[in-house]
Chains A and B, each alone.
Chain A
Amino acid sequence: MMLIFALFFLLPLVFVTIVSAWDYNEYEMIPAFSLRGYTDTFEGCIADLPELCTILKTYLKTVKLCLLTWSLTLFIGFTVAYFLAFHVRSKTWQIVLTLLCTIPFWTSNVIRMIAWIPLLGRNGLVNKGLQGMGLIHQPLEWLLFSEFSVVLALVHLFTFFMVVPIFNSMIRIDKRLIEAAYDAGATGWQTLVNIIIPLAKPGIVIGSIFVITIVMGDFVTIGVMGGQQIPSAGKIIEARLNALQFPAAAANAVILLGITILIISSLTRIVDIRREL
C-alpha cells in the first residue's frame, strides 16, 4: 500500500516539482535550474498594480466559481441526502434513487455539454419558451457561455459527489437520537441544526473536498460552458503543455496544488475527519 502510494503518487509529484524548476526551449526541457516557469507566471503582478495580473485574475475567477459551485452542491446535496436517509424507508428505494443521481455521468463530457446548447442557447428551449410567454422580447444572452452556465453545469455534474458521502454519514446516525430530541420537545429545525448537521459533518467535509478539488482543476467544463472565454487554472496548464512548455506547465501545476492544499487543510482544520470517522 505504501509502495503503491510512493510509486504512483509521491514520485510523479516529486518529478513535477523538479521539472517546474527547469529551463526549456521550443522543443525540449533543459535540466538546468531556472525559475522562469514561476516568474513568467507571475509576470506583471507587481508592475501592473493596481490592475490585477493574469494569474491572480484567473485564480480569483476559479475560486469564485468554486465557492458558488460548492455552496450550491452542498445545499442541494444535503437536501437530497436528507430526503434519501430520512424520508425513503426501504433500502431498495434508497439504492435505486442514489443510482438515479448518476444519470449525468452516463454520457461523455462533450456530448453532455453540447446538449446544453439547444436548451440554453439563443434559439434554445428556455429562450423560446420565455419569448412565447411574452416575458422577454430579446433572447437572454447570459444563459449560455457565461458564469451562470458554467456554475449550472458544474452543479449538475458534481452534486452527486456531495450526496454520497453526506448520505453515508446520515444513515449512520442513530435514529434513537432523533426520537430523543423529538421527545425532549425539539423542533424539526433544532434537530437539524443540533443533531443532524453536527453528525453529518464528516460527510459534508469529504463531499466538499471532492467538489473543491475537482472544480479547482477543471478546465473542460469551464472551457466549453464558458465559451472558452472564462479563464481557469487548468486551462493555463493545458495551453502551456500544448506549446511543449513542460516546465512552465509544471510550475503552474505546483501553484495550483499548493492553493488547493491550502483550502483543503483549512477545511480539515475545522473538522478533524480522522477523529470523526
Chain B
Amino acid sequence: MSTVSKKGGINRRNLLKASAGAVGFAAGAGAITGFPYVHSAEPKVLRYLGTAVNEGDEIAKKCMEDTGIKIEYITATTDDVTKRVITQPNSFDVLDTEYFSLKKLVPSGNIFALDTKKIKEFDNITPVFTKGQLANGKKIGAQGTAPWKVLYLEGANSKKFSATPTEFVTLIPTVYNADTLGIRPDIIKRPIASWSELLNPEFKGKAAILNIPSIGIMDAAMVVEATGQHKYEDKGNMTKAEIDLTMKIMTEAKKAGQFRAFWKDFNESVNLMASGETIIQSMWSPAVTKVRSMGIACTFQPLKEGYRSWASGFCVSKAVSGPKLDLAYEFVNWFLSGWAGAYLNRQGYYSAVLSTAKANMTADEWGYWMEGKAAVGDIKAPDGTVLEKAGATRDGGSFDERMGAVACWNAVMDENDYMVRKWNEFIAA
C-alpha cells in the first residue's frame, strides 16, 4: 500500500515538473517570436457590442478575410446594451443598437457622430433611412422614432438631432424589418385583414401580445386604432390620456380572458405558436420562419392598417479615436459593400445599401426576398437549410409593398416613465 502511494507521489511530481517546464518553454518561445509583431503592426481589433441577433459569426469571419479586422463580439440583451452605453462607454468600440434607443443614448454624449464624407456608399443607403421614403418617392409612415428623425446630428459634437440632412450621422443601418401579427392559418381558417382581430372574442384565450412595454404598447395602439375607438396623433408619442385609454381597452380584454400569455423572449413566442397555445399574436419575422421550419403553418400576416417597423444599426463610441477610428470607418465601408447586406437579406431582414446587396445575391434570391416573386428554386438560409420550397412567395410581398405600408416605428415616448407605470398596472390587473 505504502509503495503504491509513494510511487504515485513521485509520478505526480515528475509530471508537474515536466508540464511546468513545457509551459515555461512555450511561454518563452511565444514571447520571442511574438515580440517583433507587436511593434510592426497594431492588431486590427474592434469590440462590437450588440444583441445576439445581429452578431453573426459568418459576418465576423468574412470581415476578417476581406479586411483583416478582427471583430470581437460583446453580447447583451437590448436593454443591457443601452445600460452599458450609458454607464461604461469605454467598454466597446462599435455599438449595435436600435434607432429608438438614440433618444436616450445621444443626450448622454457617448455616441460619436460619423462623417458621411468618409462613408463611400452613404448616398446609396436606401432613402427609407435618409429621407423617409421609398426609391419611387412614396412617403413612409413617420409615427414613433422613425430613423430619419434621429439619423442626423446638428454638428460633430452636437447632442441635438437635426431635422434636415447634415454630414454628421448617428447610426449606420444594419438590419430593419416590418413587424405584424403572426397567425396559424390552419386553425383560424379564414382571412385575417386587420389588427383589430387580436381582440376579437373569437380568439378568446388564444391571443398574445409581447410584454416589452415600449413595443407592446405600440402593437396595442395599432389594435385600438383598428377597432376605431381612437385615432392617435402619434402612436409612438402618446399623451397621458392616450396611454390611459389604450391600457384601459387592453385591461378590459385581459380581464375578459382574451390573452393566453404575454411573451418576452423569441423562443417563448415560437413555443406559444407552435404548440397551439396561441393562434394570433404579435410576432417577429424570424420567429415565424422558425415555426414554419418545424413544419407548422404560420403566416406573418400583412394587415390593412400597416406594419410596426423597427431598425437597428451600428455606431461608434465617443471614446474611439486615432487609428482605431480609421478602422471603424473601414469596417463601416466593408459592411455596406454588399456581402453583409446579401447575408442579412437572405435571413428575411432588409439591409442598408440595396444595390450592393443585390450584386451579391442570385436573381432568384433577390426576386423572392425583395421583389415578392415566387421562388424558382428552393430558398435557403445562409447556413444552407431550406427555408421555403420552390414556388413560395414571401408573406406581405416585395420590399416596396412591405416597407411602403409601415405605419409606425418602435419608439421611446416623452411620457415613457408614465407609460411603464401604466404597463405594470396592466400586468397586475
Contact = CB atoms under 8 A, between A and B. Distances in A.
B208 to A, nearest CB: 8
Contact of B211 (A27, A28, A40, A228): A228
Contacts of B211: 223, 228
A224 B268 contact: yes
A121 B275 contact: yes
Contact of A239 (B213, B268, B271): B213
A224 to B, nearest CB: 7
B205 interface: yes
Q: Which of A121, A145, A230, A243 has the most CB of B within 10 A?
A: A243
A61 B428 contact: yes
Contacts, number: 94
Interface string A109-150: 010001001100111100000000000000001001100000
A239 B86 contact: no
Contact of A123 (B107, B262, B263, B276): B276
Contact of B107 (A27, A118, A223, A236): A27
B84 to A, nearest CB: 11
B213 A243 contact: yes
Contacts of B263: 228
Contacts of B208: 227
Contacts of A110: 265, 267
Interface residues of B, number: 40
B160 interface: no
B103 interface: yes
B173 to A, nearest CB: 22
Interface of chain B, helix or strand or loop or mixed? helix
Contacts of A239: 213, 420, 423-424
Given A26-B412, A242-B79, A123 B86 contact: no
A54 B426 CA distance: 9
Interface string B119-131: 0000000000000
Interface residues of A, number: 37
Nearest to A223: B264
B186 interface: no
A230 B254 CA distance: 11
Contacts of B271: 114, 117
Interface string B50-66: 00000000000000000
A229 B210 CA distance: 11
A246 B383 CA distance: 41
Contacts of A229: 254, 259, 261-262, 427
A14 B253 CA distance: 42
Interface of A: 26-28, 40, 43, 54, 57-58, 61, 110, 114, 117-118, 121-124, 141, 144-145, 223-224, 227-231, 235-236, 239-245, 248
* Across the A-B interface, the 9 shortest Cβ-Cβ residue pairs: A227-B261, A228-B262, A231-B428, A27-B104, A242-B79, A228-B211, A54-B425, A243-B420, A145-B261
